[in-house]
Amino acid sequence: MSALPRNVPASTDLHDVRWLRSSHSTGANNCVETARPRSGPGAGLLAVRDSKNPAGPALLFSAASWTGFLTTL
């Protein structure tokens, strides 16, 4: 069994995704955005990127890992 990917070098490598931003975000572009890739790298995982650098890397999380992170916050 192969390990799940942990990141993609450029969020632009994730095709056909819709990036979502928190409704708590201001117009200052100072937050993170999330997407759920359905195919390609990260399929089935949650992708997270910096809204200030949309072409930059994206981190990939399983649903359980992301829920654990949010619960801990």
Confidence of residue 12 (pLDDT cuts 50, 70, 90): confident
Neighbours of 31 (CB within 10 A): 13
Rounded to whole angstroms, the Cα distance separating 25 from 43 reads 26
**Residues near 46 by Cβ (< 8 Å), separated by ≥ 6?**
34, 35, 36, 60, 61, 62, 63, 66
Q: What are phi and psi of 63, to 5 degrees?
A: -60, -40
Rounded to an integer, what is the distance from CA 72 to the centroid of its chain? Answer: 18
The SS3 of residue 66 is: helix
Kindly state the average pLDDT of the residues 59-68. 90
Confidence of residue 2 (pLDDT cuts 50, 70, 90): low
Instruction: Please write the tens of the pLDDT for every residue from 14-63.
Output: 888 999 987 777 766 678 899 998 888 788 899 999 988 889 999 999 98
Q: Where are the domains of the chain?
A: 17-72
